[in-house]
Amino acid sequence: MSITIEALRKLVAKEIRSSRSVLIESPLDSIVGQEQTGDHDKDPSEYGAEKAKRSLYHMGTQAQQLHDMIGTEDEMDPQSEADIAKSAELLEKVFKALTYVKQHPEGR
């Protein structure tokens, strides 16, 4: 019996989803079971907002997973703490800039 790569991916994805993994979002979700959105004839450089929204969705999902994994009494690696703080700072910077643009459309 032979099995195709696609069938193998689906089997692996199904097994990961059925296991008691800590991760809610499987890395295989982007490979199996999700349809690509958007106009495939469009220049990839024109996908800015779509790519940003996709990244924000995954960041939010992963941030929630991390939040749930870390206990208030857990010891954190200093580099991980610094990376989380820097990520929060960068996200807030983008949030404030976009909020300003949305509130002041005449300033474009």
pLDDT in tens, 42-98: 666 667 788 888 889 999 999 999 999 999 999 999 999 999 999 999 999 999 999
Which residue range is the domain that position 104 belongs to? 79-108
Enter the pTM of the model.
0.56
pLDDT, one tens digit per residue, over 1-33 is 688 888 877 877 777 666 655 555 555 454 444
103 versus 43: which is more confidently predicted? 103
The answer to whether residue 97 sits within a structural domain is yes
Task: State how many domains the chain has.
Answer: 2
Contact 25, 58 (CB under 8 A): yes
In a domain, 48, yes or no: no
From CA 39, how far away is CA 31, in angstroms rounded?
A: 18
The encoded tokens of residue 90 equal 């960068």
In a domain, 60, yes or no: no
